[in-house]
Amino acid sequence: MNEINRPLASLDYIPADIKLAQDYEALARRFISLPNYEYIAGGSGRDQTLFANVAAFSRRMVYPRILRDVSAGNTHLTLLNKNFPHPIFLAPVAYQKLAHPLGELETARAADVMQSCMVSSTLSTYSLENIASSSSGEKWFQLYFQPKPEFTLDLIKRAELAGYSAIVVTVDASIRTPGLGALRAQFQMPNDCIAVNVAQYEHAQELLVGQSRIFQGVMRDAPTWVHLEQLLMQTHLPVIVKGILHPADALTIKNMGCAGVIVSNHGGRSLDGAPASLDCLAQIRTTVGDDYPVLFDGGIRSGLDIFKAIALGADAVLIGRLQLYALSIAGALGVAHILKLLREELELCMAQAGCSTLKDIRKADILNATHY
């Protein structure tokens, strides 16, 4: 790499060093201030799950298959009765101003151009309405249950009104362990990074003497199965539940009538010590059956990784950190470019593995090579 150091702002052009999607990861260090980079790149605690996510991919190998005609190949996907040209979605990443001054607005433009599905975070730094108006494409709204039910309902109604076509409710982030890297780098959320969607919802918590900061503190208002049932009654939109690793939870969600699950450990940012998402995927797919929508995130760095996730049971995947790295380097152009790279890398792998469609990938053999 021969790029010189650059000011901490977006270039809005693609550096020549970018050959693979994963190259955005290495380059982003030079485009994001250290504390912000540590906050984005790190996981929670000691990053055990963060590393596990990536390692889980490296243990699995894809069989090349030969001489199959893939000239009519495509990466099309139908999910929740919508058609998508490719299965690479944009995960709900909070506080995108950390990576680019125009944050989620740029991401929305990229999603629009690349026909990706953007999942807009409750904790966006532009309003959900503003983001929605930046993209004519498919977009879903990621919901955090608010401590006060009326605020949750308010978010749902605003999302419906703004044109979001599904609710992705995140259930694994009631507590976040701070990442050590960010703590060491003395990360603080910048003043201009405000979760504008929820800034007006006041909330205060008090603890009685002897009560636990955890159980009677942050968990007092944490969502439960009851909240999820209410949500299903409060919206006509399909509800997808994000943050599932245990197959029993996936089954419960399916049986409740939710529209799908996202197998995820919050990119290693929630429970440090949780299994790799990929290590949980196949069993969840087996448990919910072949046709139930199962999405996946956690550790994807290449089109090859996407192939592996689909082969192990995913219908589509979401990218989180890669999205922010590309955003930091080249704004909307970067996000669009990394989606294009990932799609081509996926197509390349499909062609070499003799798969013309995503359905073919689901039937592909994966070698779990536990030693290298």
What residues between 241 and 300 interact with a copy of itself by CB under 8 A? 241, 243-246, 249, 265, 270-276, 279-280
Q: Are 40 and 91 in contact (CB under 8 A)?
A: no
Our CB check for a copy of itself shows the closer of 128 and 304 to be 304
Our CB check for a copy of itself shows the closer of 80 and 366 to be 366
Query: Nearest distance from residue 247's CB to a copy of itself, in Å?
Result: 10
Active site residue 266: yes
Among 220, 230, 232, 282, binds a copy of itself (CB under 8 A): 220
Our CB check for a copy of itself shows the closer of 60 and 109 to be 60
Q: Does 213 bind a copy of itself (CB under 8 A)?
A: yes
Among 83, 188, 212, 286, binds a copy of itself (CB under 8 A): 212
> Distance of CA 209 to CAs 175, 213, 214, 361, Å?
21, 10, 13, 56
What residues between 325 and 364 interact with a copy of itself by CB under 8 A? 344, 347-353, 356
Dist. CA 181–CA 333, nearest whole Å = 29
Q: Which stretch binds a copy of itself (CB under 8 A): 29-37, 153-161, 210-218, 330-338?
A: 210-218
Query: Nearest distance from residue 68's CB to a copy of itself, in Å?
Result: 7
Among 5, 71, 191, 200, binds a copy of itself (CB under 8 A): 71
Our CB check for a copy of itself shows the closer of 20 and 194 to be 20
Our CB check for a copy of itself shows the closer of 335 and 353 to be 353
Dihedral Cα 39, 127, 298, 53, nearest 10 deg: 10
Our CB check for a copy of itself shows the closer of 163 and 275 to be 275
| Phi/psi of residue 89, nearest 5 degrees | -100, 165
Query: Nearest distance from residue 126's CB to a copy of itself, in Å?
Result: 29
Query: Nearest distance from residue 231's CB to a copy of itself, in Å?
Result: 11
Among 33, 165, 216, 230, binds a copy of itself (CB under 8 A): 216
Selecting among 246, 266, 337, 371, the annotated active-site residue is 266
Among 48, 127, 130, 230, binds a copy of itself (CB under 8 A): 48
Dist. CA 162–CA 344, nearest whole Å = 32
Q: Does 115 bind a copy of itself (CB under 8 A)?
A: no
Q: Are 216 and 207 in contact (CB under 8 A)?
A: yes
Query: Nearest distance from residue 127's CB to a copy of itself, in Å?
Result: 28
Q: Which stretch binds a copy of itself (CB under 8 A): 49-57, 134-142, 159-167, 195-203?
A: 49-57
HEC sequence for the chain: CCCCCCCCCCCCCCCCCCCCCCHHHHHHCCCCCHHHHHHHHCCCECCHHHHHHHHHHHCEEECCCCCCCCCCCCCCEEECCEEECCCEEECCCCCHHHCCCCHHHHHHHHHHHHCCCEEECCCCCCCHHHHHCCCCCCEEEEECCCCCHHHHHHHHHHHHHHCCCCEEEECCCCCCCCEHHHHHCCCCCCCCCCCCCCCCCCCCCCCCCCCCHHHHHHCCCCCCHHHHHHHHHHCCCCEEEEEECCHHHHHHHHHHCCCEEEECCHHHCCCCCCCCHHHHHHHHHHHHCCCCCEEECCCCCCHHHHHHHHHCCCCEEEECHHHHHHHHHHHHHHHHHHHHHHHHHHHHHHHHCCCCCHHHHHCCCEEECCCC
Q: Does 188 bind a copy of itself (CB under 8 A)?
A: no
Our CB check for a copy of itself shows the closer of 245 and 319 to be 245
Query: Nearest distance from residue 95's CB to a copy of itself, in Å?
Result: 21
What residues between 130 and 159 interact with a copy of itself by CB under 8 A? none
Q: Does 167 bind a copy of itself (CB under 8 A)?
A: no
Among 207, 225, 290, 359, binds a copy of itself (CB under 8 A): 225
Q: Does 114 bind a copy of itself (CB under 8 A)?
A: no
The catalytic residues are: 266
